[in-house]
Amino acid sequence: MIRWVRRVLVTAILIGTAACDGGAEPSAPNAPDPDPEPTSIRLTEVVTGLDQPTALAAPAGDPRTFVAEQPGAIRIIENGELAGTPFLDLSDRTRAQGEQGLLGLVFHPEYGSNGRFFVNYTDLTGDTRIVEYRVSEDGDRADPESASELLLIEQPHGNHNGGDLGFGPDGMLYVSTGDGGGSYDPLGHGQNVETLHGAILRLDVSTPGRATIPPDNPFAGRPEEGAGELWAWGLRNPWRISFDLEEERIYIADVGQGRWEEVNVAPAGEGGLNYGWAVMEGPECVDSANCDTTGLVEPALAYPHPEGCSIIGGAVYRGERLQGVDGHYFFSDLCARFLRSFRYENGEVLEERMWEVEAPAAVGSMGRDGAGEIYILTRDGKALRLDPDDGS
């Protein structure tokens, strides 16, 4: 049996009762149609030949899908074909080894009118750079000369870089960062609010080519208390984060050390949350004899090793191909290659499902296209779309 651990908020439920006269109670007039039964899912191979894909994104409504490759290129998928010429090539600026390379990609919410997009990569010295670019007059090519560096984060080790980017419903740019590497956070970054490691950062990029600290960030204007860029902390290696703009929530898939993998869920507008690393890993204390969990947020969902080894988030489904799973957060695992999902409502994890499909190779990332459909990226270079399984 799969063992799930989740945080459940106590909710009052009113149950109405009706007098029983021995007959069936008529249905309410104008009652909404019940949600359709969840469809079966298959993984449709869209393209092959990608080079260690790390991120997939697209502007809303754009028929193209963009894939970042770890060595530094951004490739375009259109009409099921992989374009031969990269949208952007940063291979001469990034170190691609181990967990380093081109790790994150996101398009500005108004990309169709301003052509702005953002990347997260480790440079030739291994440090993290958040850089803004613009598309060229040729819509299938970025302008490599348009680079504007927004943030530089020095990395003490070659792993745990985090690496994702996302725009929240507030229009701010969010950046996921790991604890900087080493087992059990040897530098103490997870609980140190003076660093930019082991955290979710929040930046105002409303001015092209510039990032500023939003005044409502937890430590904005108070540098003596904490870093102004911080939005949340206590994370080990949040490799993938995702926003559900419809419900205005952030989902953080945080890779564990050796015992637990976890998903954290929070209202998009709630900053200042401490997710517990390295006091806690998943729902457990790292050191049970010396553990104070006061003020720490438990994961919404966690699963133990050896059910997996490294969680790969993940996105909330808002497409049209699949029935009965609208609002489900889908995720996978690097080692286990499963496909799981759940729905989150009123602080509770609901409708957990283990789907009867498995990725054909190690899963490196997941992402959503411009229509809200979800893809799995495998380390052997495939992009696989979640499609309904009609039995054909």
**Given this model, what pLDDT does residue 35 score?**
54
User: Cβ(178)–Cβ(238) under 8 Å?
Assistant: yes
Q: How many other C-beta atoms lie within 10 A of the C-beta of residue 85?
A: 11
Distances from the Cα of 47 to the Cα of 5, 253, 280, 320, angstroms: 36, 25, 39, 21
What is each CA distance from 48 to 52, 70, 358, 368, 388, in whole angstroms? 11, 15, 17, 17, 20
CA distance 93 to 95: 7
**Which residues 6+ apart lie within 8 Å of 123 measured at CB?**
93, 94, 95, 129
Mean pLDDT per 10-residue run, the chain (392 residues)?
Answer: 34 32 43 62 98 97 97 98 98 96 98 98 98 98 98 97 98 98 97 98 98 98 97 98 98 98 98 98 95 97 98 97 97 98 97 97 98 98 96 64
- Distance, CA of 38 to CA of 328 (rounded, Å): 11
- Record the tokens describing residue 308, joined without a space: 């997996």
Q: How far is CA 141 from CA 71, 79, 111, 115, 163, in A?
A: 18, 17, 14, 11, 23
Is residue 157 classed as helix, strand or coil in its secondary structure? coil
Q: Which pLDDT score is estimated for 4?
A: 38
- Partners of 240 in the β-ladder: 253
Domains in the chain with CATH codes: 41-388 (2.120.10.30)
- Alpha-carbon gap, residue 235 to 281, rounded angstroms: 9
* pLDDT at residue 39 in the model: 77
pLDDT of residue 392: 58
What gap in Å lies between CA 151 and CA 135, rounded to an integer? 20
Q: Tell me, what's the pLDDT at 217?
A: 98
